[in-house]
Amino acid sequence: MKIAVITSGILPIPPVLGGAVENLIDFYLRYNEEEKNHDITVYSVYNKMVEDIPIVSNSTNIHFSFIRDKSIHYRLKRKFFCMTHKSGLYYNHYIEFFLYNVLKRMKNKSYDIILLENRPGYAIKLHQAFPSARIILHLHNDLLNSGTPYAHEIRNILSLIIAVSSYIKKRVDSIELPSKTKICYNGINLKPFNKNQLKLEVRSQFGFDNSDFIVAFSGRMIPEKGVKELLEGYLQLASSHHNIKLLIVGGSFFGNDLKESPYIKGLRELVLPYRGMVKFTGYMSYDRMPELLQSADIGIVPSIWDDPCPLSCIEGMAAGLPLIVTNSGGIPEIVDEKCAIILEKEQNLSNQIAKSIYYLYNNPDLRKKMSLCAVERAELLFSKDQFVRNFFGLMKE
């Protein structure tokens, strides 16, 4: 099949600046590069680092159409677009101008499938330009439900919606039309997480030693991820348990983001009295994630929003970490009670976090059992190979 993949217009593919959605796209592109089942064209914003990725220059069945959104020429045209398009936009001018350029690139081309990555609002204009095309949405977030603008129109246009969790499927199905939604859980490359990392060496990079009990959080540093609640819970233990340490991996956005948000500054101020016990790494490249997680004793995903299918849960399981998570969105579909303590986010979450950390700290035998169950569950359900096979299998149906 000939497939056009239309990305979000924010982060580049290949995922040189990170991004959960972008890493998943990369997985199925690399799988297709090996299997050579489909001819795929990817429409993505540009970053100069993509030039160093072999698949960009060497692939015969994966093609990249880069839109140089940082160029002066592009920015001037976008400003003019903004001035001349005061209404009728589904998204903001930045996103819509990206789609406008994609449509220009796609003109006079034909595809068997147009695959939208997490942008349901693209469907309307794509259907107008390609009325006979089969348009499929790969939906990672709660962006298409009964309250979404033009929900019925978008839903009717789409041939298939691939949802990352049952939670997302239920939200789509709230539109109350015959279901076109199938579930394909996210997956990761498990191999790097299975390697025995140099645990003490990694710990020493952050001022921790082998006797410390390390709690690890990985993800974007935004309020929805529950980092403040995590810190508030941790601080209930910090004054009396100096060997319990906290490793916070991530920044406010993707890539090498040097600007700290007011939210992150507030978090730093919150832990000033214990700054030697709490380490903020900032953004870290994804290839460092396995060693960082394996240096910890437990992992935590304290989301206070309905997180659809966080890769941080899968990565924590793959690294063999007992987890503390919230009963949010698709998280209970990813973990189970054999490998995770599942908290109710509405019930004084900070206190629950403190109690759960302390409980696992005092129960090393339980941690060992949970670790084995975590790895087993990750291998059974969430490998990248299983993800891509299911993903391409659904598109063939």
pLDDT under 50 in the chain at which residues?
Answer: 254-256, 258
The predicted structure's pLDDT at residue 285: 83
280 has which bridge partners?
Answer: 248
CA distance 340 to 317: 9
Domain 2-187+384-396 maps to which CATH number in 3.40.50.300, 3.40.50.2000, 3.40.50.2300, 3.40.50.150? 3.40.50.2000
DSSP class of residue 188? Answer: B
Structure tokens of 62?
A: 């994966």
The predicted structure's pLDDT at residue 250: 86
CA distance 196 to 290: 10
Structure tokens of 48?
A: 């100069």
Question: Over the stretch 242-272, which tens digit does the pLDDT of each residue have?
Answer: 999 999 998 765 444 546 788 888 888 988 8
Edge-first strand order for the sheet with 160-163 is 62-67, 39-45, 2-6, 113-117, 134-139, 160-163, 181-183
Q: Is 346 helix (H, G, I), strand (E, B) or coil?
A: coil
DSSP class of residue 195? Answer: S
The domain defined by 191-381 carries CATH number 3.30.540.10: no
**Domain residue ranges of the chain, discontinuous segments joined by +:** 2-187+384-396, 191-381
CA distance 235 to 194: 32
Residue whose C-alpha is closest to residue 146's, from 172, 108, 118: 172
Instruction: Tell the burial category of 36 from Cβ atoms under 10 Å away from its Cβ (0-12, 13-18, 19+).
Output: exposed
The predicted structure's pLDDT at residue 253: 52
State CA 289 to chain mean position distance: 13
Structure tokens of 37?
A: 């089942």
Question: Over the stretch 201-226, which tens digit does the pLDDT of each residue have?
Answer: 889 999 999 999 999 999 988 999 99
Residue 43's contacts (CB-CB under 8 Å, 6 or more residues apart) are 4, 5, 6, 7, 65, 67, 102, 105, 106
Fold match between domain 2-187+384-396 and domain 191-381: yes
pTM for the structure as a whole: 0.92
CA distance 188 to 384: 4
- In the chain the beta strands, taken as DSSP E runs, fall at 2-6, 39-45, 62-67, 113-117, 134-139, 160-163, 181-183, 213-218, 244-249, 278-282, 298-301, 323-326, 340-343
The predicted structure's pLDDT at residue 199: 84
Angle between helices 227-238 and 262-270 (to 10 degrees): 10
